[in-house]
Amino acid sequence: MTSQIIYKSDLRTEATHLQSGTVIETDAPTDNQGKGERFSPTDLVVVALGTCMVTTMGIKARTMDIALDGTRLEVTKVMVSDPRRIGKIIVHVFFPAGLSVDEKQKEILERTARTCPVERTLHPDVELDMQFNW
């Protein structure tokens, strides 16, 4: 088992990562009867994509002797209705100023990000807009 999730009340959950004890709370968004005081479950999907992208790039960068420290991602979800779901995810990746990588290394790192496990898990109907800012 990876985690335990408890429904607290008022559309709030508490998920505990069993290996580390780390806790994440979620809340329904304000446009879906929630308070919007925590990440929503769909927020966590886009956060999972962004963190997976940069983590897998980090793994690949290690093998290439490249330090990606300070790389920043901005993620945005676009909800659609009928049925209510994530219709589009926008990811902007910003690499630190002064990072020295050639075109081949950029290509490898971008391909690594675009094929991370979370990206490969998303339904093909979810539109992905990924931009890499070197």
Interval 93-106: pLDDT, tens: 999 999 999 999 99
Domain count, the chain: 2
The answer to whether 113 touches 93, Cβ cutoff 8 Å, is yes
Residue 80 shares a structural domain with residue 126:
yes
pTM of this structure: 0.94
Compute the distance between CA of residue 10 and CA of residue 6 in angstroms, rounded to an integer.
Answer: 12
Q: What is the mean pLDDT of residues 95-118?
A: 97
Q: What is the mean pLDDT of residues 24-41?
A: 95
Residue 19 shares a structural domain with residue 66:
no
Summary mean pLDDT of the chain: 97
Residue 88 shares a structural domain with residue 128:
yes
Residue 52 shares a structural domain with residue 22:
no
Residue 32 shares a structural domain with residue 88:
no
Q: With CA atoms as reference, report the closest residue to 41 among 23, 56, 60, 26.
A: 26
Residue 19 shares a structural domain with residue 76:
no
Q: Tell me how crowded residue 34 is: count the other CB atoms within 10 A of its CB.
A: 16
Residue 49 shares a structural domain with residue 91:
yes
Residue 67 shares a structural domain with residue 119:
yes
Domain around 12: 1-39
Q: With CA atoms as reference, report the closest residue to 112 among 87, 93, 86.
A: 93
The answer to whether 29 touches 40, Cβ cutoff 8 Å, is yes
pLDDT for the residue 57 = 98
The answer to whether 21 touches 84, Cβ cutoff 8 Å, is no
Any idea what the CATH number is for the domain that residue 60 is in?
A: 3.30.300.20
